[in-house]
Amino acid sequence: MAVGNVFTRGFFKENPVFVLLLGLCPALAVTTGLKNALGMGLAATFVLVCSNLIVSLSRKFIPKEVRIPCFIVIIATFVTIVKMVMAAFLPELKEALGIFLPLIVVNCIILGRAEAFASKNKLLPSVIDGLGMGIGFTLAICIIGIVREILGAWMIFGIPITRGGMAYSMKVFILAPGGFLAMGLLLAYFNYLGAQRARRLALAQKGIHEGKGAPAVDTSNPTVQTINSQNMIGKTGAGPCNLCPGCDKPNF
Amino acid sequence: MEQAVIYLKIIFAAVFVQNFVLSKFLGLCPFIGVSKKRSSAIGMGLAVIFVMTLASAATMLIYQYLLKPFKMEFYLDIVSFIVVIAALVQFVELAMRKLAPALYKALGIYLPLITTNCAVLGVTQLNLEFAKLNGITLTDCLLRSIVNGVFAGVGFTLALVLMAGIRERLESSPVPECMQGVPIAFIAAACMALAFFGFAGIA
């Protein structure tokens, strides 16, 4: 497997939060603002990289039967290091993260990567995998953090968006129910984007099979119209049909 | 009488006001992962109550009799607690296989999963707040932790079973294509969390 692929797959294709649905607790609990989300993401990335490193180095002499407790102890050690460093230099952030700082230990992403990747691979790929997955996690919780902070507090990174005390905020988004709501809507949006891309790819492939080099763009093309009419079955409701890039015709 | 009020407050907070799943975001992975069927949700919930109770008691004892006298509570709490929980889960699994094979079969796959359930480590960390209270006796502290552990588990089970009921109905309802599965489950959880948020006024 190419090193570049190991590094980048955690960003979007195998994003731990949005695609694999791992590490949901910190992803919802500390994302009331971008600052906390970033802090949490960086802390988890540090633990992920270090634990992957040690697990990969010791993979040859950890007996298979007790590997999970061994991994957990390795992870817990690094979490303790993060906790102590944060208590010394970033006490505010430590307060904000609360019990979710020690709970990095049971973040499924970290144990999952140790078990699925680092315990089977050499040092360098393991570290790169940890870094990539950590960045993917940070990216995901920062997206949730931005959405919730803008909608819930009308701020970005603790700075108000508009001056003069005007705030267009829905407070529910920084409370507990808003976390679930934002996560559900974001997941639905990413599903929608994925489905749209898959449909476009299928269409492009169909065009190639019928001897047309490029994916069909104009609506006068008979192939597209057949698919369009097939697509109509059982689907009502407005919105672009998404079948052909650049076409805004509604789907009914 | 005063004691009873304190315990009632702890119980009500653990089950409703500070519900682990819906207001503290603890244990979300099983909440989304194991809530497709009501029967498995009940099994998972029972296993979590069981382990949480034992873990609350065991970690509080370790904290009071090992970590605190040797002044290690800041450095070794995470490591020792997670090891205790992992060992406890393993032990419960072994004991249950021998003593209650029927229950073991029912819980089977969910037991090992509990080690990485953040609700369990979460409750042990939250119990530490009792230990930091002034003028509290050791037995009182231990008892409060255990009560908190049991009823946090009950709150988790309540949320899980309610969610499973909702999701069984969602299966047969016309959900938009991109919302099917997990996204709509999160939206439903948001509505439940809003309802539970109403309890906050009582405290």
- What residues does each domain of chain A span? 3-192
Count CA within 13 A, CB hemisphere, residue B104.
13
Looking at this protein, which amino acid is placed at residue A52? N
Give the per-residue pLDDT at A236: 39
Of A21, A29, A73, the CB nearest to B32: A21
User: Are the Cβ atoms of A192 and B178 closer than 8 angstroms?
Assistant: yes
With beta carbons under 8 A apart, name residues in chain B contacting A184.
179, 182-187, 189-190
With beta carbons under 8 A apart, name residues in chain A contacting B73.
none
Low-confidence ranges of chain A (pLDDT < 70): 1, 209-252
How far away is chain A from the Cα of B28, in angstroms, using its nearest Cα? Answer: 6
Comparing alpha-carbon positions, the chain A residue that sits nearest to B129 is A99
pLDDT in tens, B62-98: 999 999 889 888 888 889 999 888 888 888 888 888 8
Residue among A19, A21, A25, A231 with most chain B CBs within 10 A, to mutate: A25
* ipTM for the complex shown: 0.87
Q: How far is A93 from A104, CA to CA, in rounded Å? A: 15
C-alpha distances out from residue A207 to A200, A214, A215, A224, Å: 11, 7, 6, 9
Short-list B19, B45, B23, CA closest to B34: B45
For residue B65 the two structure tokens come to 């009799």
Of A73, A172, A181, the CB nearest to B79: A73
Residues 6 or more apart whose CB falls under 8 angstroms from that of A224 comprise A203, A216, A218, A243, A244
How far away is chain A from the Cα of B125, in angstroms, using its nearest Cα? Answer: 7
- What residues does each domain of chain B span? 11-197
pLDDT in tens, A203-222: 988 877 665 554 444 444 44
Looking at this protein, which amino acid is placed at residue B159? A
Would you say B24 and B18 are in contact if contact means Cβ atoms under 8 Å apart? yes
Residue among A81, A106, A193, A231 with most chain B CBs within 10 A, to mutate: A106
How far away is chain A from the Cα of B200, in angstroms, using its nearest Cα? Answer: 12
With beta carbons under 8 A apart, name residues in chain A contacting B86.
68-69, 72
Give the per-residue pLDDT at A212: 52
Of B76, B78, B179, the CB nearest to A188: B179
The vertex-B136 CA angle with B132 and B140, nearest 5°, equals 110
Would you say B179 and A191 are in contact if contact means Cβ atoms under 8 Å apart? yes
Quick check: A99 contacting B, CB < 8 Å? Answer: yes
User: Are the Cβ atoms of B82 and A76 closer than 8 angstroms?
Assistant: yes
Q: How far is B35 from A93, CA to CA, in rounded Å? A: 33
pLDDT in tens, B94-115: 888 888 887 777 766 677 778 7
Q: Following CA atoms A159, A163, A165, A169 in sequence, which dihedral angle do they give, to the nearest 10 degrees? A: -60
Q: How far is A242 from A247, CA to CA, in rounded Å? A: 7
Q: Beta-strand (E) ranges in A43-194?
A: 155-156, 159-160
Taking the model in full, what pTM does it have?
0.83
Q: Following CA atoms A91, A92, A93, A97 in sequence, which dihedral angle do they give, to the nearest 10 degrees? A: 100
With beta carbons under 8 A apart, name residues in chain B contacting A51.
none
Give the per-residue pLDDT at A209: 67
Q: How far is A114 from A126, CA to CA, in rounded Å? A: 9
